[in-house]
Amino acid sequence: MPQKVMIFSSVHPYDDTRIFHKQAVSLAQAGYEVELHAVADFEEKFEKGVKIVGVKRHAKKWKRLENGRILYERALKSHADIFHFHDPELLPWGVRLAKKTNKPVIYDAHEDLPKQIYTKMWIPGYLRGSLSRLVHWIEKRWARKLAAVITATEPIANQFQTAKQVTVIKNYPLAMPKVDRDENEKNIILYIGGISYLRGYREMIQMMDYIPRELNAELHLVGPLQHIAPADCDEKELLKKNVYLHGRVPFEEVKHWLAKGKVGLVCLHPTQNYPESLPIKMFEYMAAGLPLVASNFPQWKEIVETSQSGFTVDPLNPEEMADKVTRLLSDSSLRKKMGQNGRKAHEEVYNWQVEENKLLELYRILLSK
């Protein structure tokens, strides 16, 4: 009889790339019975070998806390052999679950939570430092009571040095087939991901003022809108600059956009959190053979320059961004070469297969104790 896994999240949609398409599907393919509880507009369905059970989406943050109790009760009834949750707000429930069931519970930390506090505009500036330190202390304290912590990067892992076991599982993309590009297609500049001020949407839009009109370039922003000023969403004004907002699209549609793009942007602001992150969009561009223009953070610069897959720029300088994008759009041979380099790096280094093996090994260790 296969061992049962319950994965749960009170915030993320059920089809989240890291949670469902990578971790849950990988575990199911490895022979585990996988049950995923996450935000969805349905009660239950099976997909890719995973049983998915929906959780209500709550717009108000305090209402999301109700999902924690619901998920805890579902976990107790699931009789799973191992539990794996993805939100810091579920930590107290995870600790309680570990104590009640005496079974392994894993906390998956996607972000550096203490540093994220500094990016929250709704928290008064004078409170962020002390609140960040408090959150760091609480998160570490609760994490010590769990069987393991998974983190998306090494810097996040350093936050959990006192945990029983820490495994870094990076957010590299799934293996992607090669994309056949039609050079007669439009000059599409692509951004995929959450669209917000700190992710550079204003600078990307301003960049279009510096790109030569004769290139007929279009900027397509694909992803959920997060804290966008209404004035920045004026469709008529955006169309004047050949800028298009598409909102969140299904996972399969992302591949369609990656095939259409000629340059990929990942120009996030130099906040407390982003320089040490590894954004999935950067590696998706590389996998699709799409040359990229990225923020000049040291870690990102090393990846881009080592792979020779694009350029890095000051993300707060729209003119510099436009200069590098223009170079790529104007030089098809350079664009093709950098795209091929990125694809090669994806095949050899930056792919989910390596990370999947680490996930399966962690499960094997925890379930053999």
Question: Dihedral sign, CA of 17, 21, 27, 30?
Answer: negative
Average pLDDT over residues 149-168: 93
pLDDT of residue 197: 87
188-348 folds as Rossmann fold (3.40.50)
4-172+352-368 fold = Rossmann fold (3.40.50)
pTM: 0.81
3-state secondary structure 44-107: EEEECCEEEEEECCCCCHHHHHHHHHHHHHHHHHHCCCEEEECCHHHHHHHHHHHHHHCCCEEE
Mean pLDDT of 61-72: 82
**Could you tell me where in the chain the CATH 3.40.50.2000 domains are found?**
4-172+352-368, 188-348
* Cα–Cα distance measured from residue 302 to residue 348, given in angstroms and rounded to the nearest whole number: 16
Among 279, 62, 318, residue whose Cα is nearest residue 192 = 279
Q: What is the pLDDT of residue 126?
A: 58
Is the pLDDT confidence value at 358 over 80? yes
In this prediction, residues 176-192 reach a mean pLDDT of 81
Q: Which of 33-37, 80-84, 155-159, 288-292 has the lowest mean pLDDT?
A: 155-159
Q: What is the token pair recorded at 359? A: 């996930």
pLDDT in tens, 308-336: 999 999 999 999 999 999 999 999 999 99
Q: Please give the structure tokens belonging to residue 148.
A: 């393991």
**Separation CA 202–CA 52 (nearest Å):** 37
Distances (CA, A) of 46 to 16, 146, 185, 222: 15, 29, 38, 27
Using the predicted structure, report yes or no on whether residue 120 has a pLDDT greater than 70: no
How far apart, in Å, are the Cα atoms of 43 and each of 39, 46, 230, 232, 234? Answer: 10, 11, 34, 36, 36
Distance (Å, rounded) from C-alpha 114 to C-alpha 102? 29
Tokens for 12, please give them: 């993320």
